[in-house]
Structure 1
Amino acid sequence: MLLPDNILPELSIYYNGAVLLEELQSKSVSPMMDLYQLVKSKNETSFSTFILCLDWLFLIGVAKLNDEGAVELCS
C-alpha cells in the first residue's frame, strides 16, 4: 500500500500523505477533522487512509499532535 504496483497511485499512502503534508505546510496547525475535510475535498480519501497517512507522517517525524490535539508540522 505504500508503494502500490497494482492500484492507482491516488490510493497510496505516499500520494495521500503528500496531499496531507501540502495542507499542513499551508496552515502549519490544523484540527484533525478540519484537516481531513480539506484533504477529502482535494482527493476522495477514506478516513482509514487518512489515519494511515497521519500514522506514516508521525512515524517518519514530519507531523505530531500538539497539546490541544491538533496536527502540526515538526520543526
Structure 2
Amino acid sequence: MLLFDVKYLRIRRDIIMLLPDNIHPEHCIYYNGSIILEELEKQTEQKLFELYHNVKKSNNMSFSVFILSLDWLYLIQLAQISEKGVVRKCS
C-alpha cells in the first residue's frame, strides 16, 4: 500500500463519520448536532452536563457522540464553550 492510499483511507473514514451511507441518522454528526442546536434554541446558555442531560432526555445520545457533535458545532462557529463549561449558541 502506498502512502497516499493510507491518507485516502483516513480521509474516507472521516467522511463516513460525518455522512454515513446507511439509514441510521442517529449515528451522523450532522443529525446529532441539530439535536443539540434544538436544545440550545430553548435556552441559549446551558452548562455542559446540563445540556447533555437535556439532550439525553429527548434523544438517546452517547456522551462521546455528544462531544463530537459539540466539537463540530464549535468548529463551524455555531456554539461556544466558556472556560466555566457553559455552552452558548452563537447567532
TM-score, normalized by the shorter chain, greater than 0.5: yes
Of 64-73 and 40-49, the range deviating more from structure 2: 64-73
Amino acid paired to 1:13: I
C-alpha RMSD of matched pairs (Å): 1.2
- Larger relative CO (CA 8 A, sep 6+): 1 or 2? 1
User: How many residues in Structure 1 have an aligned counterpart in Structure 2?
Assistant: 75
> Which has more helix, going by share of residues?
2
Deviation at 1:68, TM superposition (A): 2.8
Matched residue, 1:38: 54
Cα distance change of structure 1 residues 22 and 67 upon mapping to structure 2, 3 Å threshold = same
Of the two, which has the highest radius of gyration? 2
Q: Counterparts of 1:30 and 1:7 in 2: how far apart (Å)?
A: 31
Deviation at 1:66, TM superposition (A): 2.7
Q: Counterparts of 1:52 and 1:67 in 2: how far apart (Å)?
A: 18
Q: 2:64 is paired with a residue of what secondary structure?
A: helix
Matched residue, 1:48: 64
Matched residue, 1:5: 21
Amino acid paired to 1:34: E
